[in-house]
């Protein structure tokens, strides 16, 4: 049996398949676009758990490269962070993968990382009985050197504070007068 098809039927058939495939492609793109927006919306509406954040407000598990490098024992990433954060300049220390680590600034039973005991943001949060600077009423006017050094992160934390204030029952705390 021989299959015969004229050119006109062939073009109609191809056009139908082409339109169908293109429609499926567009539908697929819309689904992915919606999923991406839903993830963003979900992230923006999730409650901020201050116990999972460091005193400066960073979510160590998701946002801190040094924390991740420590968890993975990734020496190359530790070296990258060492250089990016100018640790030689700030802490006068040569690179040693055993000395460059982070278990967050709430390490529980772990040892403290370099510079953590001198961190003015950490000290302030502890003295003022805060889980994080996100709770601080004075965050937007805070002039600690840490925020000057990490300006983009400071903007991020101030945005997180706005999100935090949308959560039910949250209040900002006043800092105590320095002793």
Over residues 91-135, the pLDDT tens digits come to 899 999 999 999 988 877 888 888 888 899 999 999 999 999 999
Helix crossing, 65-72 with 75-84: angle to 10°?
A: 160
- Which whole number is the average pLDDT over 50-67? 91
Residue 40's pLDDT band (boundaries 50, 70, 90)? very low
- Which whole number is the average pLDDT over 4-15? 71
Q: How far apart are CA 179 and CA 177, in angstroms?
A: 6
pLDDT score of 172 more than 90: yes
The whole-number pLDDT of residue 8 equals 77
Beta strands in 44-95 (DSSP E): none
In 10 A of CB 74, how many CB atoms? 15
């Amino acid at each position: 049996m021989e299959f015969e098809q004229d050119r006109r039927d062939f073009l109609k058939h191809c056009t139908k398949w082409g339109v169908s495939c293109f429609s499926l492609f567009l539908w697929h793109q819309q689904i992915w676009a919606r999923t991406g927006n839903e993830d963003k919306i979900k992230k923006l509406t999730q409650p901020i758990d201050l116990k999972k954040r460091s005193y400066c407000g960073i979510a160590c598990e998701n946002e801190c490269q040094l924390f991740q490098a420590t968890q993975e024992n990734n020496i190359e990433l530790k070296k990258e962070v060492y250089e990016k954060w100018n640790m030689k300049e700030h802490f006068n220390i040569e690179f040693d993968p055993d000395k460059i680590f982070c278990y967050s600034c709430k390490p529980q039973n772990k040892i403290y990382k370099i510079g953590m005991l001198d961190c003015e943001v950490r000290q302030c949060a502890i003295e003022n009985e805060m889980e994080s600077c996100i709770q601080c009423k004075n965050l937007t006017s805070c002039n600690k050197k840490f925020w000057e050094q990490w300006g983009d992160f400071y903007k991020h934390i101030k945005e997180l504070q706005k999100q935090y204030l949308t959560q039910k029952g949250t209040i900002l705390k006043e800092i105590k007068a320095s002793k």
